[in-house]
Structure 1
Amino acid sequence: MYSFRTSGFNGYAVQYSPFFDSRLACAASANFGLVGNGRLYILGLSASGIVAEKWFDTQDGLFDCAWSENHENQIAVATGDGSVKLFDISLSDYPIQSWREHTREVFSVNWNLVDKTTFCTSSWDGLVKIWSPVRPTSLSTLRPHASQLSCTYSASYSPHNATMLASCSSDSFLRLWDPRTGEFPTSSVYAHNGAEVLSLDWNKYRPEVLATSSVDRTIKIWDLRFLGRAGGTTTGSPVNELIGHDYAVRKIAWSPHAPELLLSASYDMSARVWEDSSALKQPMQLSNMRQRGPNTGLRAVWDKHTEFVVGCDWSLWGAEGWVCTVGWDEMVWVWDVRSAKLQG
């Protein structure tokens, strides 16, 4: 395992570079993101540990970051002043592009893995916006219906479809979007029974499957094939539910190496590795699982953090199992899931 301290800045997000096996980025904020500056760290993994190769300071806190899938040196960040900034780590200390269309804090940024030329953001203003690095304004704005406007904590492109997005919000809804059909969601699922939904991620191997996490301490696995329609809302039950965190689950990430493994970060100061048993089932068996109830699936716990763990990511490189986590304790940890405490 390796560690790095973001002294004076509390971590919010961490991501491995899709181009270099020894590089990752960390978005952090002073004073837990309540007030003060932000800092984007570019970190390098070396034989002697993690070193800061470069950093960029911003006038407001940073809540998320996403490496470009099209340019090895570019990275987008989500800021607390409502702006979205694009940095080139080979250039000066200033962003090469800055957009300010959101009216509240930008809380997530996610790059399109399929067409690679666009990325999306979500904000506390309730909106999801789609951007191109070479355009001065957003390409489109996606919005819930006026009566449903609420804080949108996360939005993410499907890794299997260039135009499909999903978002999750404080009103407990998981929403699916296709900008080709207009600015409103194609379907909405009341996902966590009134609890705020903080994070989501698409499964990298199963196009119909995504996961959501919530302040209700659960992670739910959804299979889009089992969702139906009732009035204006999509109905359906999760095919699995992962239970074990003691507090809100702030971030989740599916493994790029195995369809059944998922990583989570929580306010209970732990990161956990789960095995989703629904990944191994056929459609008929999935229906039976929903009737039998949740399967915890907990495989390992990482407890080195001493404050809220709010960001996590899997390495695309090397041995299958290296991950990174970041928390409000000003620590970035890089560790092997096989070295964490085994459960069961």
Structure 2
Amino acid sequence: EMMHVDEDHGPIASVNWAPDGQHIAIGLHSSDVQLWDSTCGRLLRTLRGMHRYRVGSLAWNKNILTTGGMDGNIVNNDVRIRSHIVHTFRGHQLDVCGLKWSDSGRQLASGGADNLVYIWDLPTASSNPPLSGNEWLYRFQDHVDAVRALAWSPFQSNLLASGGDMDDQCIKFWNTQIGACLGSVDTGSQVCSLLWNKHERELLSSHQNQLILWKYPSMVKIAELTAHTSQVLFTAQSPDGRTVASAAGDETVRFWNVFGNANTGPFANFNYIR
């Protein structure tokens, strides 16, 4: 057991590793966020006062931990200082379901239960005093259900993929430099997560109990990977981009060679944890 969160703080709503691979942030239903040292299982500090309800989304940008709450607010927290709240983004009217910083750290994408995708610009967020009026760079309204799956392209800095829930079922592609939708694919089921291949122009999505690998930009299916026996809820990528971990409602975490070299057995499900 790496760490244990007291039941008094409520169920865990979100988890996200810091870029250093040592520290981990845990968002709670109580509206607090805990920071832990994973090497020794020690609670370092608890961040409070950002949200009124549960914290369901987390994203790191160097020393900034961005939190998204059920109250619709998105908060930048500098974990190095005591007064950690440095900026609040206000746009979503419902639960913030997804957060993802671009690789450059200049733009933040957020998806919400209000079916909206916002693009926030870091210089605007850091302005002192904050700029008046709408703070977002772009607001995309094309999805018709909640948006929790977000992924920035590793080969084109202004390319964002987003995936919609059950009543939407689409993967959409956005150019965040000009604020335009580049295309949309109906996948036929809820899109729970998205990951780009760091080595090839490919995109991995999770639906129901399977993962689907697509060729970009044609969006031709390369493979359908099935091993889970219930909904795949989350996916994550190893630092080298080769291995993908998937977690599902069947209470297993499975590891895949989906982005690995051909001689490692492509698409192999090589291990799992229950």
Q: TM-score range by the shorter chain?
A: 0.7 to 0.9
Whether the 8 Å contact between 2:99 and 2:111 is mirrored in structure 1 is yes
Structure 1 residues not aligned, in runs of 5+: 30-36, 228-235, 282-294, 304-344
Q: Which has the higher contact order (CA 8 A, sep 6+)?
A: 1
Aligned counterparts, 1:141-180, within 5 A: 141-144=139-142, 148-170=143-165, 171-180=168-177
- How many pairs are equivalent? 257
**C-alpha deviation, 1:54, in angstroms:** 0.8
- Matched residue, 1:222: 214
- Matched residue, 1:189: 185
Q: Distance in 1 between matches of 2:126 and 2:259?
A: 42
Deviations 1:207-250 (A, max 9, x none): x1111112x211111111433xxxxxxxx3x2111101111111
Aligned counterparts, 1:241-252, within 5 A: 241-252=224-235
Is residue 2:81 matched to residue 1:91? yes
3-state DSSP class of the match of 1:3?
Answer: coil
Whether the 8 Å contact between 2:147 and 2:164 is mirrored in structure 1 is yes
Q: Which runs of 4+ in 1 moved over 4 A?
A: none
RMSD over aligned CA atoms reads 2.1
Whether the 8 Å contact between 2:111 and 2:117 is mirrored in structure 1 is yes
Q: Distance in 2 between matches of 1:5 and 1:299?
A: 28
**C-alpha deviation, 1:90, in angstroms:** 2.2
Higher helix share: 1
Q: Distance in 2 between matches of 1:210 and 1:12?
A: 26
Q: Distance in 2 between matches of 1:221 and 1:278?
A: 13
Q: Which amino acid aligns with 1:156?
A: A
TM-score, normalised on structure 2? 0.86
Is residue 2:96 matched to residue 1:109? no
Whether the 8 Å contact between 2:161 and 2:171 is mirrored in structure 1 is yes
Structure 2 residues not aligned, in runs of 5+: none
- Matched residue, 2:136: 138
Is residue 2:51 matched to residue 1:80? no
**C-alpha deviation, 1:67, in angstroms:** 0.8
Deviations 1:104-139 (A, max 9, x none): 1101111111x2222111011111111123154112
Q: Distance in 2 between matches of 1:162 and 1:118?
A: 10
Deviations 1:281-321 (A, max 9, x none): 9xxxxxxxxxxxxx862111111xxxxxxxxxxxxxxxxxx
TM-score, normalised on structure 1? 0.69
User: Residues 278 and 21 (structure 1 numbering): CA distance in 2 closer, same or farther, change over 3 Å?
Assistant: closer
Q: Percent identity?
A: 19
